[in-house]
């Protein structure tokens, strides 16, 4: 038996088709959802990520404003510019695309106004109870929940393990919270956890976001587990791979996300979802928490 591949492209396509109809309805009411993306204009990886988001916006009908940070841009300049976007009525969502160059720090995300922080980068959602009202959920956490729901993978009563990198900033606290809310027993580990293999072997749902190729091997995965590979690494030959030893793990798991083609497309779709949600909240169609 080999694991069923989770088709992130198909999930993303379905989400974007629904959003396209929703945006059309908003546009008819004079509401044009708009996303502003700020990125390091000198970084080729960032340019690639922004191009993917631009394509998704075009597919859904969301306006997108793209601003490249230049070599001369300093921390103070960037903060001033983000505050300007915070005050811009046209802009519903702001995304600060990483990686940023040295000298520009991740904590700058906290400058983004909470009502426009569509990527959940400042993690203000963790300071609020998840009531049955509109709210942003960090895209890197929401994507996992959407995948589990789409494939009808049971969460309630299951054991979930979230593995993060000890030296990275994946910040999946919202994911652990959401899994708990759905009735899972959840443990968070790092790649330095002494009992990592032991904990992974318990997991009915294993989510890995470390940033190290093949950090999870076949002998670390429970039979029939659902494995969500959230890593993205580039080999010396230029091939993009995840954090999981795909070929070995696929022989044991029931479900597995490929890299690429797994969580990546769905994460972008979730960004579109949150942008549309922001537009509805700011236009008072929905009331935010």
Active-site annotation holds for 119 = yes
Active-site annotation holder among 16, 53, 182, 222: 53
User: What's the CA gap between 247 and 2, in Å, rounded?
Assistant: 9
Question: At how many degrees (to 10) do helices 8-28 and 44-60 cross?
Answer: 60
Active-site annotation holds for 70 = no
Active-site annotation holder among 40, 119, 191, 243: 119
Question: What would you report as the CA-atom Rg of the chain, rounded to the nearest whole angstrom?
Answer: 19
Joined together, the tokens standing for residue 36 give: 């502003």
User: What's the CA gap between 33 and 190, in Å, rounded?
Assistant: 38
Among the listed residues 4, 45, 6, 60, the one whose alpha carbon sits nearest the alpha carbon of residue 268:
60
In sequence order, the 6+-apart residues with CB closer than 8 A to the CB of 11 are 146, 147, 150, 265, 266, 269
Active-site annotation holder among 97, 117, 158, 243: 97
Active-site annotation holds for 75 = no
In three-state secondary structure terms, 67 is: strand
DSSP state, 115?
A: G
- Active-site residue numbers? 53, 97, 119
């Amino acid at each position: 038996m080999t694991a069923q591949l989770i088709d992130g492209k198909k999930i993303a396509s379905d989400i974007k088709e629904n959003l396209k109809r929703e945006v059309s309805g908003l546009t008819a009411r004079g509401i044009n959802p708009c996303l502003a993306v700020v990125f390091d204009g000198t970084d080729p990886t960032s340019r690639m990520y922004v191009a993917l988001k631009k394509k998704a916006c075009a597919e859904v009908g969301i306006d997108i404003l793209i601003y490249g940070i230049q070599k001369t841009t300093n921390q103070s300049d960037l903060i001033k510019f983000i505050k300007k976007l915070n005050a811009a009525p046209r802009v519903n969502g702001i995304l600060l695309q990483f990686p940023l160059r040295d000298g520009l720090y991740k904590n700058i995300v906290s400058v983004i106004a909470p009502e426009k922080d569509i990527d959940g980068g400042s993690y203000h959602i963790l300071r609020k109870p998840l009531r049955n009202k509109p709210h942003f959920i960090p895209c890197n956490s929401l994507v996992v929940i959407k995948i589990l729901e789409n494939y009808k993978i049971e969460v309630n009563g299951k054991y979930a393990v979230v593995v993060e990198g000890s030296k990275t900033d994946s910040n999946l606290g919202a994911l652990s919270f959401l899994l708990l809310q759905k009735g899972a027993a959840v443990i968070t580990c790092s790649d330095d956890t002494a009992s990592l293999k032991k904990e992974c072997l318990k997991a009915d749902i294993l989510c890995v976001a470390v940033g190290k190729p093949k950090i999870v091997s076949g002998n670390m995965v429970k039979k029939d587990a659902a494995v969500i590979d959230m890593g993205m690494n580039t080999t010396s030959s230029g091939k993009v791979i995840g954090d999981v030893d795909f070929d070995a793990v696929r022989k044991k798991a029931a479900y597995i996300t490929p890299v690429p083609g797994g969580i990546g497309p769905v994460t972008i779709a979730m960004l579109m979802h949150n942008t549309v949600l922001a537009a509805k909240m700011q236009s008072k169609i929905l009331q935010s928490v």
